[in-house]
A and B are shown apart, each in its own frame.
Chain A
Amino acid sequence: MKKRRTRTAWVLLLASLFLGFCETSTVLASQATSYTYTLDDNDDFVRTQDAYLPERTITDLGLKNPQDLFIDRENMLYIADSGNRRIIKYNIHEGRVEMELAHAGFTTPRGLFVTEAGDLYVADAGAKTVFRFSKEFELKEAFEKPDTPLFSDTNFEPNKIAVDKNGNMYIIGEGVYSGVIQLSHTGDFLGYFTVNKSKVNFSEALQRLIFSREQLENMLDVVPTTFSNVFLDHQGIIYTTTMGDFRNAVKKHNTSGGNMFKETVFSISENIADIYVDMQGIIYSCSTTGLVDVHSPSGELIFSFGSNQSNMDVAGLYSSLPSVAVDMDGNVWTADGDKGYLISFRPTDYALMVYEAMALYEQGLYEESMDKWNEVLRLNQMSVLAHDGVGKAYFHAGRYEEAMEHFKVAGNRSYYSEAFWEVRNAKIQKVLPVVFILVVVLFIMMKVVSFLDRRKRRIKNAKEAVSAQIAKLPVLRDLQFAKKICKSPSNMYYEIRRHRAGSVVGATAIYAIFFVIYMLYQTKKGFIYQYVAVEDMDIGGIVVGFFVLLLLFILCNWLVTSITDGDGTLAQVYMIPAYGSLPLLVALFLITVCSYGMTYNESFLLTLMLLVGAAWSIILIFLGFLTVHDYSGRETVKSIILTVIFMMIAAVMVVIVMIMCEDLYEFLYTVGQEVLRNVWNR
C-alpha cells in the first residue's frame, strides 16, 4: 500500500512524459485504458482482471468545470455544470439533453441531489444557498444560512448535499470543520450529523510535549480532516467521504452518525472527492486524482481503476475527477473536471459475477453463491475475494477441507483455522480410539520389557553404553552438555569457566543448529502461524540480522567485560549464549512442528512455549555470564546493559561507515564510468 502511494508523485511526474512505450507483460490486448487493482492477501494493491471498460464519451455538452453527477431512478443523469452556472438533465438511454436549468441565483452550483419524489436540491457555495426545484425545474425553496445562534459563527457555503425522505438536508459546507451540517426540511439547523476527530501525529505530539506555550500558540491549530462529500442511498443510509487519508476515507453511518464499518476501509488514494451507492449497496468513490474505487457493502475494497494523466485525452485517464455516479444498469459515470467531458464505464462480466456472488452470499444463499464464486474463479484464479467467497460458502456447507484450500489462497487465516479445527476434530474422533489403544499397548509392552530386563539389565546397559558413546561424539557431546546446563546452570558454567568443558567448535555447531531451526521457525510454520510467506520475506535481512546481532553481542560483551574486570575470555563469551540457547532452540522447533496441528484456539500454547523457552534461555545465559565472569548479579545486569549500549553505538558506527563506503563506491563508480566512456568509449 505505502509503496504504491509513495511512488505515485514520482510516477505522475514521469508518466506525463512517456506513457506510450511498448508492453513487456504477457497480456497485450487489454480493452481497458487503465489497469484494475484489488487487494491481495497481504492487503497490497495488485492488478487484476479488468472490471470496467470505458464505454461512452460525451464531449459535446460544453461543460465547464462540472462538479457533481447524480442519476435518478429514471436513469436521468444530472450534471452540476458549475463553470456555466447551470444544471443539465441528460437522458442516458437516448443520448440527449433532456432539460437545462440556469437559475439566475446560481453562482457556483457544485452539489446536487435528486430525491425519490423528483425534487432537485442544488448546493451553491458561492450563492451561500441550497435551492430546491421541482421535477419540472421550478424553484420551490431557497435555504440560506440558518439564523440560529448555534450556527452564527459558522460559514454557510454549501458544497455538497444529500436529502433524506423527510426532507432533512445533510450538507458539506466549505471550510466547516465541525462536521456534516444537518438542516430540517424547513431549513432549521438541527446540529452536526457526524464529525471527524482531529488527529495528532507523532511529531505534533512530541511538539506539544516539549514546546513552550508561545511556540504552541504559534503552531497552526490542528483541525479535524474535512468531509469532502455526502451521499444517501435508497435505504436512507448516509455515507461520507473525507480527504487526507487513504484509511477510512469512506464511511457508512448509522442513524446516530457513527461509522458502521468495523474493519479499516482502504482507498487507493487519499483524495477521495465523491461517493455513490447503488441499489445493491455497492459503494463507488472517486479521487480527484482520477481513480475510482469500488467497495462492498461491508467496506472491503473490490476494485480500483482509472488513472491520472493530464496530457492526453484517453477515456478513463483524467486530469481531474470530481464526481462519480452509477446508473440503473450498473454503468459508472464520471466527469473530467478540467476537460469538461463525461466518460461512462460498463462493468465486465467478471465484475458483474463478483457483485452477484456477493449479493447471494449476503442473502445467505451459500450454495448459489458458491456456484457464482466458482464462475468468478474461472475468470480470475488469483482473486482473493473469490477464493474467500468460495471458502466461506464451502465452510457454511460443511465442506471444510475444500474451504481450507480456498482460505489458504485468500490468506484468510482465521477462517482457515476454524475450518481446520473442524477437520482436525473429525480426524481426532476417527483416530482417537486407535491411538488410545496403541498408547496402552505400548505402555504395557514397555513395562513388560523392563520387567523382563530387570535381572540381566541388558537393555539398560546397552542404553547406557550408547549414552556413553554419544558423550564422546563431538556435537552430540556438546548438546548433552547444553542439556546439563539446563538442569544445573551454575555448576556447568563453572566447568566452562574452569576450561573443563565446552568448546568453540561445539558452540559453533550449536549456533549452526540454532540458525537452521530459527530459519525453519521463520519460514516453515504451518499456514495459520506463518504470517509472512517466504516470497515476501527479506531472507538476506533475516540471515544477516541473525549473525550480525549475535557477533555484535559477543564482541561487545567481551569488550565490556574486559574493562569491567570480567574473567571470561572471548572464547568463553562465545560459548555462553550457545550452551544456554538450548531451551529456546527446543521451543522454536516444537512451535514450528506444532504450528501444523494447531488452530488459533491453541495459540496460547505456542506463545507459552516461546515464553518458557526464551525465559529459560535468558536465565541460563544470565547465569552463564554471572558464573564465567565471576560477577555479582548486579554487575552482570550492568555489564549486559553496557553491552546493549555498546551494540547500539557499534551499530550506528557501522551504518555511518557503510554510508561512507557507499558514497566512496558511488564516487569511484562515477569516475569509473566517466573513464570508461571517455577512454574506451563503452
Chain B
Amino acid sequence: MSGTGKKKKIIAALVSAGLLLGITTVAHAKTYLPTGRDTKLPPDKVTYDIVKLDAYQLLYETNTMRYYYREDRDIIAVEDKRNGYVWKTGADVAFSADLTAAVKAAQTPEEKAAVAEPKEASMNATYVGIANSLVTVEYYESDTIKNISSASKDGVSSKLVMLNDNPATRRLDVDFSAIDLQMKMYITFLEDSIRYEIPYEEIAGTGKSRMASVLLTPFLGASGGEAAYWNPETGEYGENEKKYMTPGYVLVPDGCGGLIRFADNAVSFTEYIGDVYGPDLSTETYYTTSRNDAVPLKNPVMPVFGIAHGDSQAAFVAYAESGAEYMEIIVRPDENKKVKYTWGYPRFEYNLSYFQVYNKQGAGYFSMMAEPQHVDVSMTYTFLEGDGSDGKSFAADYTGMAAAYRAHLMEQGVLTPLNKQGDIPIRLDFIMADAKNGLLGNEQMVVTTAQDVDDILNTLVQDGIQNINAGLIGWQKNGETLTRPDKVKYSSKIGSSGDFKELLSKYEKQKIDISYSREMATINREMTGYYNTAAKHVNTWYVEVDESMILPQNVPVANFSRATPKKVAAWTKNLVEKLKKTSTSITLDGISNILTGTYDRDGVDFSITEAIALYQDTLAGVKNDLKVNLVNPNMYLWKYTDRFLQMPVGTSQYVFETDTVPFLQLVLHGTMEMYAPYSNFSFYAQSDILKMIDYNMSPSFILSKEPSYYLADTVSSDLYSTEFAQYETLIGEIYNSVNSVLSKVSGYAWTDRTVLEDGVILNTYQNGQDVKYVVINYTDHTVSWQGNEVGGLSAEVISGEGVR
C-alpha cells in the first residue's frame, strides 16, 4: 500500500466508520430476515485480557509481532503488538491424565489449585494432541484413517531448531516414531506473518507411504470449548462449563466466499470440506462418478481461508503458496464429532484409498497408491488487526483478508490493475448448435446461425448497448457435444468459415469482441476415442462421469470422461493456432477449472502439479495472441485471464454457513472484467440485479435465435430459455440497472463493504481523494442513509460530498 493510498484509505475508513450509525429506516414493511445468502451484521466485539505467556519462550520480534514458543505443548503464540491480541497455534490445553497426575502429586490445596488447569471436556487425548499441535498427520492403518499429531501424548517427539543463526527461521523436526515417519517443517517469522513449509523430499521413514494427509495448526483461531474448572473449596473439578466463545467467523472460499460464524450449535453438523480447485477425478475413490439430483458443491478457486475474532479487531488470512492443488480447507463447526469447538484448518492430501477394479463388471478391492502425491506444503498466515482505519494494516474482517490476499497476488504478479472507466461491459454468449439422436445417426440442431448473431448484435447496438463482448458456443459442425475441442470444421447450416470471418471482423471494427468458445477438458466416446486421450484413474481405468440422471433419456451421449492434461493443452494450442487469424479473443472452459491427473501402472503419469504448470504455459502462449476469457478460472490462471466468466455469486449453502460475502470479487475487482452467471437461469430477480451491483459484476446472458426447446433432446437441454426475442427487453433493463450504478464507480477502487442493517449494504469506492458510496437495499422498504433515501430493492450511488 503506498503512502497516499494509506491516507486515502484512512479518510475513507474514518468517514465510513463515522457514518455507519447514520442509517435510518424510513418505512418498515416487514422485518428483513437475512438468510445464508446475505451478509449479516458484523459479529460482536471480542473481549480479551492480556494473556500471560510465562510458559512461553520469546523466539523473535518484529515491529508488529512477537513470536513465542511453548516447547512442551508444541505451540507458537503470536502476540500482535498493535493491539495486544494473542493468537496461539494450538488450544494450549493439558492432557487430562497429566492433570490428574499433577493434582495427585501436589501436596497442598494451593499447589493443587496452581497445577489444576481447566480440564477439557469432549476431547480425548488424541484430540487434545491435535488441538495443541503445529502439525498433525493422518495415516492409514489397515482400512481406517488415524491421527497422530506433533503434540501427541505418545509416540512422537519434536524439536524446534534455529537455522543459520537467524531467529526468524526455524525448523521443527518431528519424529512420529509410532509410525516411523520423520518430518521437517520450516517456520519463517515475517513482519506480520508466519510461513510454514514442509518439503516432500525431506519427509522420511517407512510411514511416508501410508501418510494420508497433513493438517497445519488445526486449532489456530478456534472458538468455543467446554472445560471443567478446579474448585478450591471442594478440592475437585466442578461440572463442565462452557468457555468464553470468541465471537467471529471462519471465512471459506466456497463459491464467492462464505462465513461460518462461531456458534453454540444445537445440532451435530458434518464438516465443511472445500477441495481447492475441485476434486481430481483421477484420485477419487472410484473411477466412475455419477451426477445426481444434488447440485455439485462449489469448489474453491483459490487456496485461502481466514478466521476473524470480534468486530474488526483481530483476524488472520492464510493462503497456500505451494501444494494448493492437494489442499482441502476444512471447517468443523461446534458439535462436529461432539467437539465443542469450531475450528478450521488446511489439510494436504498425500496418499489415498481407491477402488482397484479388475473386470468390466466392476469387481475389485480397495488399495492405496504405491507412492504418495508429491506435495510441497507452503502456507502463510498473515495477521490483521483493527478496522483498517489506521491505514497501516488491512481490516481484521473478510474485506481485509481479501485486501491482504489481493496484495499478495499483486506482489506475485498474478494480478495487475486494469484501468477501465465508463460503461460496464455485458457478456452475451450464443448457443449455436448441439446434436440429438436422428434417424441416421445424430442430427445437428441449429438454433443460431452466424447471420443470426449479426442480427442480434445489431439490434442490441441499435438499442444503445455498445460495450458488448460475445462468445460463440457450439459453432463447430455438430455443435458443442460431439465435436472434438480442437476441430475447426464449419457447418454451412451454422455458418461457413467465411460467414464467421465476416461476422468477427465486422464487429471488431465496432470494438465488439466476439470469440469462439469451447470446453476443452470434457470428452465423450462419440467425440473421440479414449486411447491416449482420456485421463486414467489411479486404478488405470479411464475416468468416467455418468450424467444420465441429470440429462434427458434420449440424448446422444450421457457418459463423459476427462482429457489428459497434455491433450487439453495440445488441443488448446491447436485451436488457438487455427482461430487466431480470424479472432482477437478466445473463450475457454474446462481448462480453466478442471484439474485431472492421469496415471498408469507405474503410478502418476502426469500429475496435477504438472498440469497446472502446463496450463499456465499454454495460456501464457495464448495470451500473447488473443484476449483470454475463462469460465470460472482457478487462481493459477488468473494471471492470464482478461475476463472472468460465470463468476460464482453464492456458496454451496451448508446449513452452518451463516453469510455469503463477495470475497472473490473483492480480491479480483479492478484487475479483470468480472461477469455474473447467466441472467437466464434463476438469476433474473430484482435481488439478483442488486447482487450484481453489490458484488461488482457485469451481467451476462446466453442467447439463441430459435426457441431453446429445439435443444430439449440434446446435452444442452439445461438451457431452458435462450430465445433472443424473449430477452431483448430484459437485456436492456438489466444492463441499464447495473450500469447506471457501476459505471459511476468504474475505475474506482472498492475499499470497503459494510452491512448497515439487515439487507442493506454499503460499498465504499475511492479514486484519489474522491470517495463514493453505493447503498444496496435488498429490503422492500425505503432506507435513509446520511440523509439519502434509497428505495426498497434498489441501489444508489452517493458521492462523498453528498454525505453530511
Q: How many A-B residue pairs have CB under 8 A?
A: 257
Kindly provide the distance from the CB of A269 to the nearest chain B CB, expressed in whole angstroms: 11
Residues of B contacting A678 with CB < 8 Å? 601
For B31, B293, B709, the residue with the greatest tally of chain A CB atoms inside 10 Å of its CB is B293
B361, closest chain A residue (CB): A666
Query: Which of A29-37, A104-112, A255-263, A571-579 is the interface stretch?
Result: A29-37
Kindly provide the distance from the CB of A387 to the nearest chain B CB, expressed in whole angstroms: 8
Contact of B33 among A44, A95, A537 (CB under 8 A): A95
Asked if A380 is at the interface (CB within 8 A of a chain B CB), the reply is yes
Indicate if the CB atoms of A28 and B293 lie closer than 8 Å: no
Asked if B304 is at the interface (CB within 8 A of a chain A CB), the reply is no
A534, closest chain B residue (CB): B439
Indicate if the CB atoms of A34 and B553 lie closer than 8 Å: no
Within 8 A of B (CB), among A2-58: 3-4, 7, 10-12, 14-15, 17-35, 37, 40, 44, 46-50, 53-57
Indicate if the CB atoms of B682 and A535 lie closer than 8 Å: no
Indicate if the CB atoms of B718 and A311 lie closer than 8 Å: no
Contact of B682 among A20, A348, A534 (CB under 8 A): A348
Complex Cα distance A53/B711, Å?
25
Asked if B193 is at the interface (CB within 8 A of a chain A CB), the reply is no
Residues of B contacting A94 with CB < 8 Å? 31
Indicate if the CB atoms of B550 and A35 lie closer than 8 Å: yes
Asked if B662 is at the interface (CB within 8 A of a chain A CB), the reply is no
Asked if B50 is at the interface (CB within 8 A of a chain A CB), the reply is no
Residues of A contacting B284 with CB < 8 Å? 17-18, 21
Residues of A contacting B42 with CB < 8 Å? none
Contact of A350 among B358, B677, B682, B716 (CB under 8 A): B682
Asked if A564 is at the interface (CB within 8 A of a chain B CB), the reply is no
B547, closest chain A residue (CB): A24
Asked if B124 is at the interface (CB within 8 A of a chain A CB), the reply is no
Contact with A along B319-347 (1 / 0, CB 8 A): 00000000000000000000000000000
Indicate if the CB atoms of A32 and B436 lie closer than 8 Å: no
Within 8 A of A (CB), among B14-37: 30-31, 33, 35-37
Asked if A669 is at the interface (CB within 8 A of a chain B CB), the reply is yes
Tell me what chain A mostly uses at the interface: helix, strand, loop, or mixed.
loop
Contact of A4 among B545, B549, B717 (CB under 8 A): B549
B474, closest chain A residue (CB): A26
Residues of B contacting A40 with CB < 8 Å? 552, 712
Indicate if the CB atoms of B296 and A20 lie closer than 8 Å: yes
Contact with A along B252-266 (1 / 0, CB 8 A): 000000000001011
Kindly provide the distance from the CB of B9 to the nearest chain A CB, expressed in whole angstroms: 32
Contact of A59 among B265, B289, B292, B715 (CB under 8 A): B265
Indicate if the CB atoms of B290 and A316 lie closer than 8 Å: no
Indicate if the CB atoms of A382 and B649 lie closer than 8 Å: no
Complex Cα distance A48/B273, Å?
28
Q: With A46-B552, A94-B31 in contact, do A30 and B653 touch (Cβ < 8 Å)?
A: no
Residues of B contacting A44 with CB < 8 Å? 552-553
Residues of A contacting B299 with CB < 8 Å? 20, 22
Complex Cα distance A306/B293, Å?
7
Asked if B438 is at the interface (CB within 8 A of a chain A CB), the reply is yes
Asked if B419 is at the interface (CB within 8 A of a chain A CB), the reply is no
Residues of B contacting A17 with CB < 8 Å? 284-286
Contact of A378 among B279, B552, B716, B726 (CB under 8 A): B726
Asked if B548 is at the interface (CB within 8 A of a chain A CB), the reply is yes
Residues of B contacting A677 with CB < 8 Å? 540, 600-601
Query: Which of A335-343, A426-434, A642-650 is the interface stretch?
Result: A335-343
Within 8 A of A (CB), among B262-306: 263, 265-270, 273, 275, 278-279, 281, 284-286, 288-297, 299
Indicate if the CB atoms of B270 and A311 lie closer than 8 Å: yes
Q: With A14-B286, A29-B683 in contact, do A315 and B653 touch (Cβ < 8 Å)?
A: yes
Residues of B contacting A95 with CB < 8 Å? 33
Residues of B contacting A10 with CB < 8 Å? 290
Residues of B contacting A682 with CB < 8 Å? 531, 600
Residues of A contacting B727 with CB < 8 Å? 378
For A23, A61, A377, A387, the residue with the greatest tally of chain B CB atoms inside 10 Å of its CB is A23
Kindly provide the distance from the CB of B555 to the nearest chain A CB, expressed in whole angstroms: 8
Indicate if the CB atoms of B717 and A46 lie closer than 8 Å: yes
Complex Cα distance A313/B719, Å?
29
Indicate if the CB atoms of B718 and A11 lie closer than 8 Å: no
Identify 24 residue pairs between A and B in the complex whose beta-carbon atoms are under 8 Å apart, listed by A's number: A14-B289, A19-B292, A20-B278, A24-B560, A27-B719, A30-B295, A30-B682, A34-B294, A37-B293, A53-B682, A57-B36, A306-B293, A307-B294, A312-B297, A312-B654, A314-B652, A315-B655, A349-B685, A382-B717, A519-B439, A539-B437, A666-B359, A669-B360, A670-B360
Closest 5 pairs between A and B when the two form their complex, measured CB to CB: A29-B677, A20-B297, A307-B294, A50-B682, A62-B266
Q: Which residues of A contact B (CB under 8 A)?
A: 3-4, 7, 10-12, 14-15, 17-35, 37, 40, 44, 46-50, 53-57, 59-63, 93-95, 291, 306-307, 309, 311-317, 339-341, 343, 348-350, 377-383, 387, 409, 519, 523, 533-537, 539, 666, 669-670, 677-678, 681-682
